[in-house]
């Protein structure tokens, strides 16, 4: 049993009826060898049952503290039922990628019942060529990108591997209300005693970032710099999902020619696609689009974990007001590098520490007010697209004879920011997964194709700049 950190609990407080805050992972299995037979729900159940001690977060359930005195406790669910978390679905004919993506769009906006652990696994049959899919969904409260990568490794690795520091046998517990209240009161003392140190660290970080600002090429984007676009017309539960896969070799060619990072090439590819997409709709703003980019703040000394959120964000220009693709890439490289350095100077982990002080009896009403204001004042937007980059575990992965040959990961679009693009590296491929509100993105397939085209344009230009 342990208490949620504020950074974890914030995902609970942010959720509302039109904005489930979850992660969606699509794993595709190659057709099994002749005679092996497909994976079944029963086979999936047996496999998961054998890995549960390696993935203790699969049995975690929330236990709220009365009166909202502190963040919820996490306990092993005393009523854990593995079968509850398993589903099956069959994709419509012809079972191609587009049909699979349509099914994911229907299943993606799932709000989990908090009386159970917050995850679900759906085995998908009917894919072309005898292939299968496995849709894994998690509420973000327990899982950031790093934790999800660890889970996939332990879930789909050929063997459970060596005993893990965080492996745990099933120890169901349901603490009483009195115990929860007493525990909350006991924990509040150390929590609030940290306030002076947090103020001091925040002040030092702001001073360091301010000193650095005079040397920056691009100023930090402010809220008033973010243009309102059709991408921000997103206030419903409807979702669309699609994906496009590109070669890491192509990304590497551009990266080396531009002295860029993989993530900067990703941002430039998305920027080129968004510029073309909005321009075709006469909706390209004069000011550049602004992206929200998550980064990991997980301390290096922490061992791999299957739970918890260690994430910060920086906002950076996508330079969509620049017509030349190579110049756009250079601007993105400068802007994203400076934005990341600024966040590190300010203290990337400090926002999460401050969130520990956002106790439920305060945080939940504040989030409801914020949600209503976001709906009422739709002209004020914080960013135009959320773009994240996650590394999937290395191959080989599988469940018995069913071998994994593709992985796509997706995070949720948000009210007022209806486009989430998550990039997952698996083997020699980079998969861009788009999850969006259809009022924000009316043709996700076109946008996905635009990402491929934008990267191809950069690859062609890289030869001239190598």
Q: Tell me, what's the pLDDT at 220?
A: 78
Per-residue model confidence (pLDDT) at position 159: 58
Q: Report the number of secondary-structure helices (H) and strands (E) in the chain.
A: 12, 15
Do 70 and 188 form a contact (C-beta atoms < 8 A)? yes
427, 223 Cβ separation under 8 angstroms: no
**Shortest CA distance to 326 belongs to which of 414, 156, 454?**
454
* Total residue length of the chain: 466
Rounded Cα distance, 59 and 79, in Å: 10
Residue-wise pLDDT for 24-33, tens only, equals: 999 999 998 8
Domains and CATH numbers, the chain: 2-167+179-185 (3.30.559.10), 217-389+412-465 (3.30.559.30)
Buried b (16+ CB within 10 A) or exposed e, 113-131: ebebbbbbbbbbbbbeeeb
**Which pLDDT does position 380 carry in this prediction?**
86
Cβ contact 1:75 at 8 Å: yes
Largest CA distance in the chain: 70
Coil, strand, or helix at residue 217?
coil
Q: Is there a contact between 398 and 404 (Cβ–Cβ < 8 Å)?
A: yes
Distance separating alpha carbons of residues 296 and 391, to the nearest angstrom: 12
pTM above 0.85, yes or no: yes
Would you state the structure tokens that stand for residue 207, as one six-digit string? Answer: 């001073």
Query: Which pLDDT belongs to residue 146?
Result: 85
Residues 191 and 357 sit within 8 Å (Cβ to Cβ) = yes
Q: What is the pLDDT of residue 163?
A: 53
Structure-token pair, residue 286: 């004069």
Q: What are phi and psi of 190, to 5 degrees?
A: -60, -35
d(CA 267, CA 334): 12
Mean pLDDT by groups of 10 residues along the chain of 466 residues: 91 91 95 88 95 92 95 95 97 96 93 94 96 95 86 83 65 94 94 92 90 77 89 95 97 96 98 98 97 89 79 94 97 94 89 90 91 88 95 88 94 94 94 97 97 98 85
290-296/385-391 β-pairing: parallel
Report how far residue 423's alpha carbon sits from residue 246's, in angstroms, rounded to the nearest whole number: 10
- Could you tell me how far CA 1 lies from the centroid of its own chain? 25
Gap between the Cα atoms of 332 and 287, Å rounded: 14
Question: Kind of pairing, strands 398-399 and 402-410?
Answer: antiparallel
Beta bridge partner(s), residue 247: 429
The span from the first CA to the last CA of the chain, in angstroms, equals 55
Measured N-to-C along each axis, helices 145-156 and 41-51 cross at an angle, to the nearest 10 degrees, of 110
In sign, the C-alpha dihedral spanning 171, 176, 182, 188 is positive
In the numeric block, the tokens 């996490």 are attached to 74
The answer to whether 293 and 390 are in contact (CB under 8 A) is: no
pLDDT digits (tens, 9 = 90+) for 370-401: 899 888 888 889 999 999 999 888 878 999 99
């Amino acid at each position: 049993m342990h208490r949620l950190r504020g950074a974890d609990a914030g995902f609970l407080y942010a959720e509302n009826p039109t904005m489930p805050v979850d992660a969606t992972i699509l794993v595709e299995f190659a057709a099994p060898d002749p005679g092996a037979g497909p994976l079944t729900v029963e086979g999936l159940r047996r496999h998961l049952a054998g890995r549960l001690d390696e993935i203790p977060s699969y049995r975690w359930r929330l236990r709220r503290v009365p009166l909202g005195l502190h963040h919820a406790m996490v306990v092993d669910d005393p009523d854990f039922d593995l079968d509850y978390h398993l589903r099956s679905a069959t994709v419509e004919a012809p079972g191609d990628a587009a049909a699979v993506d349509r099914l994911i769009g229907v299943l993606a906006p799932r709000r989990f019942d908090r009386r159970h652990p917050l995850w679900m696994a759906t085995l998908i049959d009917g894919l072309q060529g005898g292939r299968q899919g496995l849709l894994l969904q998690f509420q973000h409260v327990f899982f950031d990108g790093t934790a999800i990568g660890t889970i996939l490794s332990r879930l789909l690795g050929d063997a459970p591997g060596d005993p893990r520091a965080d492996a745990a046998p099933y120890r169901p517990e349901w603490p009483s209300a009195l115990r929860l209240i007493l525990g909350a009161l006991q924990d509040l003392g150390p929590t609030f005693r940290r306030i002076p140190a947090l103020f001091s660290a925040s002040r030092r970080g702001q001073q360091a970032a301010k000193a650095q600002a005079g040397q920056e090429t691009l100023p930090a984007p402010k809220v008033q710099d973010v243009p309102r676009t059709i991408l921000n017309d997103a206030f419903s539960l409807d979702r669309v999902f699609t994906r496009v896969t590109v070669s890491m070799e192509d990304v590497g060619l551009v990266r080396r020619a531009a002295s860029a990072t993989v993530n900067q090439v990703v941002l430039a590819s998305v920027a080129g696609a968004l510029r073309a997409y909005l321009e075709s709709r006469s909706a390209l703003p004069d000011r550049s689009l602004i992206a929200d980019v998550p980064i990991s703040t997980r301390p290096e000394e922490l061992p791999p974990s299957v739970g918890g959120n260690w994430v910060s964000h920086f906002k950076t220009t996508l330079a969509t007001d620049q017509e030349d693709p190579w110049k756009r890439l250079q601007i993105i490289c400068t802007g994203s590098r400076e934005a990341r350095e600024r966040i590190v100077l300010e203290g990337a982990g400090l926002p999460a520490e401050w969130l520990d002080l956002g106790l439920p009896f305060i945080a939940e009403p504040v989030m409801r007010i914020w949600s209503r204001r976001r709906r009422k004042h739709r002209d004020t937007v914080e960013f135009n697209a959320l773009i994240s980059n996650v590394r999937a575990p290395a191959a080989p992965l599988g469940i018995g004879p069913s071998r994994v040959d593709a992985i796509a990961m997706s995070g949720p679009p948000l009210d007022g920011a209806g486009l989430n693009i998550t990039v997952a590296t698996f083997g020699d491929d980079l998969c861009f997964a788009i999850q969006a509100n259809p009022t924000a993105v009316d043709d996700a397939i076109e946008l996905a194709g635009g990402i491929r085209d934008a990267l191809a344009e950069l690859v062609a230009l890289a030869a001239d700049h190598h």
